[in-house]
Amino acid sequence: MRRNKGKNPAAAGSRGTWGYIARAIKPYAPQIIASIMLSAVTVGLTLYIPIKIGEVIDKIVGKNNVDFESIMPMLGTILVMAAAAGVAQWVAGALNNRVTYGVVRDIRCCAHSHIQTLPLSYLDRRPAGELVSRLITDADKFSDGLLLGFTQLFTGVLTIIGTLIFMLTINVWITLVVALLTPMSIFVARFIAGRTYSLFRRQSETRGELTSYIDEMIGGMKTVRAFGREGKTNEKFDAINDRLKTVSVSAIFFSSLTNPTTRFLNAVVYAAVALAGALTSIGGGISVGMLTSFLAYANQYSKPFNEISGVVTELGASLASASRLFELMEVAPETPDREDAAELTADGMSGININGKSANHGKANKNDTTGKDGITGKAATAAAPTAPANLPKKASGEVAFEHIAFSYTPERPLIRDVNVHVAAGQHVAIVGPTGCGKTTLINLLLRFYDVTGGAIKVDGTDIRDLTRASLRRSYGMVLQDTWIKTATVRENIKLGHPSATDEEMIAAARAAHADGFIRRLPRGYDTLLGEGGESLSQGQRQLLSISRIMLSLPPILILDEATSSIDTRTEARINRAFTEMMAGRTAFVVAHRLGTVKNSELILVMKDGDIIEQGTHDSLLAKGGFYKHLWESQFEVV
């Protein structure tokens, strides 16, 4: 089955849900056409069988007056047609299954890929559980409706059309009775479906809210129990769960009216056909056998309306879920790279020292895709996209903040007119009270957010003129909040440099003082770590993050409270390793413990989004300003 790669169903054209669905199923047009043809074969054979049965009945004139010679071939024909119809229906069902789950798989892939492009400002405002609910639960509900649509809607419509044609060949007037009465069930089903859509929409939203809350509470279970909030947590869960129950019962109740209502109307139609047919038969207008066939058609004609009414109900829930999924895919991605954006590559820096020899990650053969900075990507010597002459291709690490301004919300400015020049290879510490903008400055440097004023330049070029991917490959980052993926220790350390050798990986772990605890794990470097690395302590997770950066060693390093969860003795050793690692590289170190940054070449002191002081440790103390106050308060100097 062909997979719709790289095309987002929500990318262009009509913004209606049906438009998205049409674009999503377009790649599967051959399978859908084959399914429709097989459904037509199934319906045609199924509808022709009553004609043959009527002919058989007409051969039974009375007692001891049965034309067995004619009946037996007819029965054989009926048996063959029934078998052929069964095979065609099975193949059509198999195709429908493949199309349905292929479409949903493609939509999930597109939605997941789209999430990777969304701006962090959007993701920061959305609970993770709510996004998970859209990708998993809403996609499943959509697939249920889509499968019913393929399996029952096509067959039902073809059955209705085919039955009308066969009934017209038998008796036009009785057919008109059926055609005039049957639409009542369609109007009833449509009326109920229109009323239930909003209920199913609310059901999907409440389900997403519940999923998000469960995800949040399980993730913070230790804190919940530590503060004795189990009771309040259960109360809020019960409240959301009760709302979900209420809206679900309402949606199911109103939608459940569709089937019995249409069945009642169809029973009325069947009775009218039987009465009209009986009167016509008495008058000699139709044989008993053909009346039997006509009654069978009347029943087959009404049956699809019952099925379609059920499909309409399920489609209401399906479309409500699909609209939430497509709403996510409608969210505008982060500002794309400029068409003439340049690729930024490292300047041939070597990796960590192994057995006294430099492990130069830039030694790549023609098949190697690892850059000289040790970060996976295009080789440093590979053909990068052609860029204007004024844009750099190699990063030396010079960084300049020129009159930058930024705010998460327009009414609350955070950073205002910051000016800093960092020379290549310079070590810069960023200090200040909580909430002063230290981490925000790092987010701007990485282009997780774009500045609202001024410019950040790397080697003299505005970072908005560089591709995000190449810019971020030039950074190595260790954060206070570590992220460990569900994978082996080996895969976690090689996250930034998958092509590194095991020798390089182990050397990096040793430099980060992580090798010791890793070897004590059940399977060493092949130990599988669970979600978030919960089997490890916070300090051990941080050591793994440091090992990643030790292995990659890009030209610019960012350490945001990188040793906050590590004991003092290990911290001292790691700081020595950091000192060796940062040699010749530009480094930004965010720290609350001022003792760890007093040897930095430049210290930026932030307060309320502004850099109010900058200089070396000694010069800042000599000024007697805010930095001296922070230093004295931290070390209790009076």
Q: What is the pLDDT of residue 638?
A: 41
Question: What would the two tokens of residue 270 be?
Answer: 């069947």
Are 47 and 175 contained in the same domain?
A: yes
Are 326 and 429 contained in the same domain?
A: no
Are 164 and 279 contained in the same domain?
A: yes
Are 68 and 213 contained in the same domain?
A: yes
Are 433 and 322 contained in the same domain?
A: no
Are 473 and 325 contained in the same domain?
A: no
Q: What is the pLDDT of residue 389?
A: 39
Q: How far apart are CA 290 and CA 413, in angstroms?
A: 83
- The SS3 of residue 554 is coil
Q: What is the pLDDT of residue 346?
A: 56
Residue 420 lies in a domain: no
Helices (H), 331-437: none
* Mean pLDDT, the chain cut into blocks of 10 residues (638 residues total): 41 56 84 86 83 74 66 84 89 86 85 83 75 80 74 77 79 76 69 73 82 78 75 87 88 76 74 76 70 74 69 71 80 80 60 39 36 31 36 69 86 83 88 84 87 88 87 81 83 87 90 88 89 77 84 83 71 72 82 80 87 89 88 68
Of 330, 354, 384, which residue constitutes the final position of a domain?
A: 330
Q: How far apart are CA 332 and CA 494, in angstroms?
A: 32
Are 320 and 431 contained in the same domain?
A: no
Residue 211 lies in a domain: yes
Residue 243 lies in a domain: yes
Residue 348 lies in a domain: no
Residue 574 lies in a domain: yes
Of 311, 330, 349, which residue constitutes the final position of a domain?
A: 330
Residue 338 lies in a domain: no
Are 325 and 429 contained in the same domain?
A: no
566 CB contacts (<8 Å, ≥6 apart)?
Answer: 539, 542, 543, 574
Residue-number span of the structural domain to which 205 is assigned: 17-330
Q: How far apart are CA 15 and CA 318, in angstroms?
A: 17
- Long-range contacts from 295-300, C-beta under 8 angstroms, 24+ separation: 295/270, 296/50, 296/53, 297/47, 297/50, 297/163, 297/166, 297/167, 297/170, 298/167, 298/178, 298/269, 298/270, 298/273, 298/274, 299/270, 300/46, 300/47, 300/50, 300/159, 300/163
Q: How far apart are CA 107 and CA 327, in angstroms?
A: 12
Q: What is the pLDDT of residue 525?
A: 92
Question: pLDDT digit string (tens) for 529-548?
Answer: 877 777 788 778 888 888 88
Are 321 and 205 contained in the same domain?
A: yes
Residue 2 lies in a domain: no
Of 330, 352, 381, which residue constitutes the final position of a domain?
A: 330
Amino acid at 597: V
Secondary structure in 3-state letters for 364-386? CCCCCCECCCCCECCCCCCCCCC
Residue 355 lies in a domain: no
Are 197 and 69 contained in the same domain?
A: yes
Please state the domain count of the chain: 2
CATH number at residue 618: 3.40.50.300
CATH number at residue 177: 1.20.1560.10
- Answer whether 0.75 is exceeded by the pTM: no
Q: In which residue are the tokens 């720290």 written? A: 591
Question: pLDDT digit string (tens) for 389-403?
Answer: 344 456 678 889 999
